[in-house]
Amino acid sequence: MLGVRLPEELEKRLDQLAKETHRSKSYYIKRALEEFLQDQADYLLALARYEKVRQGERTYSLEEIEALLERENDKH
């Protein structure tokens, strides 16, 4: 269980949304938190990938990937 204090205006908006949609405030808070956490995970992954490229790891163009996939498909 987690308790969260929201600014008054944000809580009013959440209350209104919950009433209009007949969903709980918890439903919207969970959805928002899930989306935020996924965005943060994506950001951290992109940051780690960027750092690898900065350190010299090879990158591939779209054309190179398409050609590689085409060769793989031709094998099967």
pLDDT band for position 20 (cuts 50, 70, 90): very high
- Nearest alpha-carbon partner for 29 in 9, 50, 13, 8: 13
Position 55 in a domain: yes
CA dihedral 60, 35, 10, 13 (to 10 degrees): 110
Question: Over pLDDT 90: what percentage of the chain?
Answer: 93
Q: Identify which of 33, 32, 15 has the alpha carbon closest to the alpha carbon of residue 24.
A: 15
pLDDT of residue 76: 78
Cβ burial 22-40 (10 Å sphere, 16+ → b, else e)? eeeeeeeeeeeeeeeeeee
Q: What is the pLDDT of residue 73?
A: 92
Prediction pTM value: 0.72
Q: Is residue 42 part of a domain?
A: yes
Is 1 a domain residue? no
Query: Domain range for residue 66?
Result: 8-75
- Residue 3: inside a domain, yes or no? no
pLDDT digits (tens, 9 = 90+) for 50-75: 999 999 999 999 999 999 999 999 98
Q: Is residue 34 in some structural domain? A: yes
Q: What is the mean pLDDT of the chain?
A: 97
2, part of any domain: no
Residue 24 lies in a domain: yes
Tally of structural domains, the chain: 1
> Maximum Cα–Cα distance for the chain, whole Å?
62
